[in-house]
Structure 1
C-alpha cells in the first residue's frame, strides 16, 4: 500500500515528483523531471488525481507491471487459493511482530516449513503486499509429481485419526499410511504399485490438509476454539483512525420506491464507522439480498476519496474527509459475512477481518449505535417510515405514504452523515468525529491513510459487478448500454483471429455497481484488465457516477406503456398487407389464364397504375397516383402471354411453339 508522506515519489502528468514537506492540507512537491522545481499542491488535488488514475505511486514500476499480470484471486481454483491462505497464515505472525526474528527458526520448525521457502514467500509479500503473489505457480516442479494417490490416502488418514480427540504422533500416522499403501500394492502389478513418501514429506502434506479449528473444537470446545480463531473477547482500544472499522447491515426503517418494480419496498442499508473517531466512513444501498457484492461495494466506498460532494450534492456544507484502507474490519458472524470471496478481497488488499461472537452486539457497539441514531433521528420521521416495531407503527400506512426515490434517499443520507453525524459532539470521545480525525493528523504528522498504487487496483479488488459478454463492433453491453475503447477493439480483433468457435470469444467484464461510467474487460493476451468507457455518456448527459439502480430506473421509465396495444396494431397492419398481396396474386393468376386461352390480348387504356389492383383511389374527381404510371402504347404493347414466368411457359408448352418475339411486330 502507498500513502502521501514525506519522501514518497509518484508519477503525475508524465513527470516524477517527490513529496518534500506536508503542512496540513498543503503538500510541497519537487519535480524530479524538470530541474527539481518546487511546487505546492493541496492534498485534495492529489487525491483527485489518484482517483482519476492520473497519479501512480512510483514504488517499483516493474512491480506494477508484474502485478497487472496476476490473475484475479477470487476466480482462481479453490486449491490454489487455499494454499495461498495457508502461506499467508504462516507469514502473518512474523509480519505483525508476534514472532521475533530470533524466534523464526523455532517457529518454522514447529510448523514443518522450510526456512528457504519461508523467506521466498516473505520476499514476494514485502514487494507487493498482495496475497496473489503467494499463489502456487504452475510452472516448474508440481506437487503432482508425488503420487496423487498418496495424497488421497493421507487425507483419509487425517480425517479418521486427527479429528477424533485422541493424540496420534506423526510417526504413528506415517506408519498407518505405510500400512495402507502396502495393502493396496498387494493387489497391483509392479508397474502400478504406489511408492511411499518420507515422514518429512508426510508432515508437509498433513500440515496442508489438517483443519486446526476442527481439532480445537474436539479437544477444547467451541468457545475456546472460537477464541483462538478470532482473538480475545476483551474490549479492543484504538489509538488512531482506520485502526478498527465496524461494518454491518440492516433493513432501513423506511420504504422507498424500487426503480426495478415501481413498488414501495424496504432497502438494505450497509454502513461502516471508524471506531476511534466515530466518523461515518461509507455506505451502500440495495433492494437485493445482502451478499458479498454489497459488502465489497460498501468497502470500496469507505476506501475511496469522496471529492464528488460539491458537484453531486451541493446542499452538503462540509467535506467528507475520510478515505484510506482500514487495518481491521469487524463483522458479525452472519453467513454472508463469512464468504470466502469477501475474505479473499480483503486478503488481496492486506485487510484483516475479525468476526464477533453470536449475539454479541457489544463487540460492535459503535455501528449498532450508528444505526439507532439514523433511525431515531431521521428515518422514523420520514414519509414511508416503518418505525421500530408494530406497536409504534400502529395504523400508519408505510407503503401508501412511501414516495422517496433511491436517488433522493442517497442525497439525504449524505446530508445526515456529513453535515450531522460527523459534526455532532461526543462526550465519550470529547469532540466531533470530524475534529478527532483532523486532530489525529495534526498530532501525528506521520499518520497517513494507505491507498493502492492505482485506483484501478482498488476497484478490481472490490467492485462486484461481474458478467460474461461477447465483444461486438459497438463494444460490450452492460445494463443496456455499450462500452468501448481502442484497446477493446484490439482485443476483439485478436479473439476473432484466434478462435473459430464463437463461444470462445466471450470475455469477463468487471464493473462498479455504484459507478457505471466505465467497465474493465479481461484481456487474455495481455494478462490484465483493460478499460472501456460508456459510449452513451454524452447522449444521456451523464457526468457523475451512475448507480446501477438509476440505470434500472431509466430502463423502467423507457418501457412502452402501450406495448400490448402496439403489438395488436402491428399485427393488424401485417394482416391488411397480406390481404392486399393476396388480391394482387388472384388478379395476376386470372390475367395469365385469360392470356393462355386467347391468342390476342384486348386493348387496354394507354395508362395503367401498376402496384395496386382492383382498387380505385380517388379524392373527389381527382385521382391520387400512389405509384409512378406505366405508359403502354398500343403500337408496341407487349403480348402478355409471352412475358409469363418460366413455370407458366412449361405448363403451356404447346402454345409456345408458335410464339413470336414482341420486337418482330415492328
Structure 2
C-alpha cells in the first residue's frame, strides 16, 4: 500500500483562485475592505462591492482603455474576505468581546456533587399578560425571580410580582427556596406531586444587577452562611442553567397559555394578547407550581441523564444538604436592613413607631443610639433590632398594631401617598398655606416699622425740641416787668417736666419719663 494515498490534497480541490489580478485592483479591494467593511459601521458586502466599483470607474478615467480595471463581483469580494481570519473580522466589526463569544467553545461548566452546592438565580419578564381578579382589566406582564439547583437542574424556589427586579423579590425567592413547600397540599390540592426541594444553600451565583449587590442580600447571606458569587459582566454562560430554564419556561409553557405575548413580534403576528388574556396572578402561580413539579421536574434532562426530581432524590440519599434555620430566624435574616436612631420614642421606620422593653435596655441612659433594624416587607407589625452588646435580635412591636399587622411595605407606601394626596386636596390645606403666607407678610411689615435702639434716643430728643419750638411759636409772649427766673437747675427741670406732662404727645415717638433731679453742690 502506498502511504501517499492518505494525503488529503486539499490544494487540488475545487477551482483554484486566480493570482493574476492587477496589483491596482488588489490594492483597491483591500482598501475597500479596510475602510468600508472592517469598521464599526458594519456596512454590508454589497456596499463594499459598490464602493470598490465606484473607485474602479474613477481610476479608469486616468488609464488607457486597454489597461482599464474590470468591475468586481460578489464572488470576488467573498474570495478576498475569506483570506481574513474570522476573529479579526468580528473584532473589527463588533469588538473583542463579541468576537470571543462567537468563537469561544463553552464546556459543561462546573460539576456539582450534591444538592444545593451551587444555586443560580436570575429574573425575567414572563411572556404572558395577567388580568386583575376583580376588574378583569389587563395589568401587564409580571416578573419572575427563580433559583435553580445546578446539581439536579431542579427549581428550588421562585417569586412572581408585577414590580421590576429588586432586592425584595430576591429575598422572597431566597426564603421560598430554603423553606419546605408544605403549603402546597392546602393551597393547591389538585397538584398531586411533591416539591421536596429545601435546605441551606451553599453558594448563590448571580449577575451584576443592582438587586444582587444590595446590602440586604449581602447581610442575609452573611448571617445565614451562604456565599455569593458574582459573574463577570456580560457573561451569561457562567450561569447557563438558569438562563436555559427561563427560556424553557417561556417557550415550552407560557407560549401555550391564553394571553401569551410570545418572545418576538414576528412570532406573535396577528395574535391579540390583550383580548385573549384570561389568567389572574393567583391562577398563574398555581399553574407555575403544577408545571414545575409535574412537568418540568418529571422531564428527562440530557445534561444529567435523568429527570430533575429523580436526580434530587438521589442526591438527598447520598449527601443531603443542611437544614435551613427555622422559619422565624429565617424571617429575621432575610428581612430588609435599615439603620435608625433609637431614642425615647423608640424606633421610627416607614412612618410607623416601634417600642418594647428590650429597646429600653439597649438605649440605656443615652439620649439616642444608632441601631440596625431588620423588618419583613410582607408584615410591618414587628421589627427586629440588633442588640450591639449581645449580638442578637430583639423584637419591637408597632404602637398601632391594628394598622401595621399584616401590612406590606407596598401597601404602606400606597396608603401614605394617598393620605398626603387626600390632605392636599382638602380646603384646609389651602387655608393653611394662606395663613402661613399672611404670617410671613405680617412679620416682614413689623420688621420694616421697627425702630432700632440706637436711633430711638435721637428721635426722642428731636421730637421734644420740635414740640418745644411749636409751643413757643403758638404761645403769645408777655413781658413780665419782674420776671422770676429759676435760680437753680432743679427748678428748671421741674418746669420742663411739668410742661411735658401737660402736652399731647401721642403723635410723637417719644417716651415720657420722670426726670431725676440732682442736688446742688451749693
Q: TM-score, normalised by structure 1?
A: 0.40
Larger Rg: 2
Of structures 1 and 2, the one with the larger relative CO (CA 8 A, separation 6+) is 1
